[in-house]
Amino acid sequence: MSPLEPFGARLRHAMDTRGPLCVGIDPHASLLAGWGLNDDIQGLETFTRTVVDALADQVAVFKPQSAFFERFGSRGIAVLEKAVADLRDAGGLVVMDAKRGDIGSTMAAYAETYLRKDAPLFSDALTVSPYLGYGSLKPAVDLARESGAGLFVLALTSNPEGAEVQHAVRADGRTVGATMLAHLADDNAGAEPLGSFGAVVGATLGDLSSYDLAINGPLLAPGIGAQGATPADLPRVFGDSVRNVVPNVSRAVLKAGPSPAALRDAAVRFADEVREAVEGA
């Protein structure tokens, strides 16, 4: 597919053909130790290469957590750059989990780091924080449109601390989280088959029927596996929007390593469970 095709269309195709699953690439120290690797650049390289080689040609979406690479400095960033390029070359979509958020020229620089087509870390989408105001994301929104990339905006996150901001009620009676969803719906208006501007909505949050999740865009859903949610929970949490959910599984897949075959089996199992839950909804 053309790299200039909007992210939402490419995501819809990838999930329909490879299965509705996003695998997080989170090489934290405890996971490296579980694989028998040292918490050093060599361990990082071995871990990342194993995951990429095992899954790049079969999983729809990958979400590398930038912080776990950044902690190794420039050599860690080099590992991340290669992983992003190799995943995309194999047909996987990359959502860079960097949660960037700032204003003006600084937000524009973050956008250029991840969303400019010739950037070393160019990714299919980027996670961003809107809590300097949704309008602060405009440089990223604009460049994503130009590059055929997407954004995932933190809206209703699964961490308990998030509620004090996201569930706060504005003067107009709408919560902050609902306001972010409404902005995303506006940015996705008219897009087919799916908009490119998604929300991060935790799969562990339970009943979200009071929120309008019909944003005509994807819903990145962390929390499946180690955090306690299961694929079977998705229809209950996301209701009529469940087909647009991008379920993220990290530790529950990665702990199957370092065997490539075991990694592939775990990814296939979760994708099949998600597909069964979605199609049965």
Residue 96: CA atoms inside 13 Å, Cβ hemisphere, count?
A: 30
pLDDT at 281: 66
Give bridge partners of residue 39 from the DSSP assignment.
none
CA atoms of 85 and 87, how far apart (whole Å): 6
Burial class (CB in 10 A: 0-12, 13-18, 19+), 119: middle
CA atoms of 106 and 58, how far apart (whole Å): 36
Q: For the chain of 281 residues, list the mean pLDDT of each consecutive stretch of 10.
A: 79 96 97 98 98 98 98 98 98 98 98 97 98 98 98 95 95 97 98 98 92 98 85 94 96 96 97 92 66
The SS3 assignment for 1 reads coil
pLDDT at 228: 81
pLDDT at 145: 97
Phi first, then psi: give them for residue 262, nearest 5 degrees. -70, -35
CA atoms of 116 and 17, how far apart (whole Å): 27
Phi first, then psi: give them for residue 238, nearest 5 degrees. -105, -10
CA atoms of 150 and 274, how far apart (whole Å): 23
99 DSSP 8-state letter: E
Q: Report the catalytic residues.
A: 99
For the chain, give percent helix, strand, coil, nearest 5: 50, 15, 35
Domain ranges of the chain: 7-280
CA atoms of 23 and 132, how far apart (whole Å): 29
Joined together, the tokens standing for residue 116 give 């400019």
CA atoms of 192 and 198, how far apart (whole Å): 14
Joined together, the tokens standing for residue 112 give 């250029």
Residue owning tokens 């809107």: 130
Give the pLDDT confidence of 180-218 residue by residue, as tens digits: 999 999 999 999 999 999 999 999 998 899 999 999 999
| Sequence-ordered strand ranges (E) for the chain | 22-25, 61-64, 93-100, 125-128, 150-156, 197-201, 219-221, 245-249
Q: Is CATH 3.20.20.70 the classification given to domain 7-280? A: yes
pTM beyond 0.95, yes or no: yes
